[in-house]
Amino acid sequence: MAQMISLWTFACKLYNEPAVKNACLQLQDDNDVNVPLLLTACWLIASSAVISSVHATQLQAIASDWNDGCIQSLRALRQSMKARLSSQESNDDDMAAWALVREQVKAVELLAEQQLLQQMECYVQQQMLPISKTESDNSQSEVITFTSTFDNGVQWVDHAFTVLAQCLPALIGALPQLPSKSPQARSAIADIILSIMPVGVPAASQMSYDDVLERISR
């Protein structure tokens, strides 16, 4: 099995980079992107993982289940409480109580996102293991593999964009169809790709923001 940094550790480190955090929030607010799924895709890209459509579909299902059943409701509650606090219609004691509860809601939302990431990491790890054949099926199920053969930065960016398209087809497919939002979305994706580009790929360090943007705008 390939050695990979834990998804939670990777996600926290990547998300805390200012350009990435802003890009993730922009994609979440403007394009309804599931950020934990996006960070999982970045984790797979950074690990040079090669996934199939089956893997991508399952990751989407896990993310949707947690988002629709838990995270989205918590986020909506947190945001509504923030709006109330911003209105300043209550007295100081009332505002302090609301602020305290909002922080607790925020903590639960973060916990839910952590659990989602753990579920997706668990799935990926299971798919990295050899799957035994059954008596009724002599074919071996698909497993996640890894590649280290990127001759240049362009190849790596193309691989990164392929994984993003597999995991987030609605976002990537919408880029050419949403003129008003596409430039911002493409810029956000370029920021994220540049943040995870490995230094070991030949000529990768020479690729500029415009180079990456050009590759993903095709």
Domain chopping of the chain, boundaries = 7-130+142-216
Residue type present at position 169: P
Is residue 23 over pLDDT 80?
yes
Average pLDDT for 15-23: 92
Average pLDDT for 11-26: 93
* Nearest of 39, 48, 45 to residue 14 by alpha carbon: 39
Which pLDDT does position 138 carry in this prediction? 41
Is residue 106 over pLDDT 90?
yes
- Cα–Cα–Cα angle for 16, 8, 187, nearest 5°? 45
Contact (Cβ atoms closer than 8 angstroms) between residue 144 and residue 164: no
Taking the alpha carbons of 130, 131, 134, 138 in that order, is the dihedral positive or negative? Answer: negative
pLDDT digits (tens, 9 = 90+) for 36-47: 999 999 999 988
Both tokens of 109, joined, read: 């939302």
End-to-end CA distance of the chain: 35
Average pLDDT for 6-18: 94
How many whole angstroms separate alpha carbon 130 and alpha carbon 28? 35
How many whole angstroms separate alpha carbon 30 and alpha carbon 38? 14
How many whole angstroms separate alpha carbon 191 and alpha carbon 175? 15
Range with the poorest average pLDDT among 60-74, 101-115, 127-141, 198-212: 127-141
Which pLDDT does position 168 carry in this prediction? 92
Most confidently modeled range among 117-121, 147-151, 152-156: 117-121
Q: Global pTM?
A: 0.86
Q: Which of 10 and 206 is assigned the larger pLDDT? A: 10
Both tokens of 85, joined, read: 């606090």
Is residue 16 over pLDDT 90?
yes
Is residue 131 over pLDDT 60?
no
| Average pLDDT of every residue of the chain | 83
Which pLDDT does position 213 carry in this prediction? 78
Average pLDDT for 37-65: 94
How many whole angstroms separate alpha carbon 193 and alpha carbon 161? 8
Angle between helices 53-66 and 92-128 (to 10 degrees): 160
How many whole angstroms separate alpha carbon 142 and alpha carbon 144? 7
Which pLDDT does position 3 carry in this prediction? 63
How many whole angstroms separate alpha carbon 12 and alpha carbon 208? 25
Q: Which of 156 and 43 is assigned the larger pLDDT? A: 43
Q: Which of 150 and 100 is assigned the larger pLDDT? A: 100
How many whole angstroms separate alpha carbon 108 and alpha carbon 118? 15
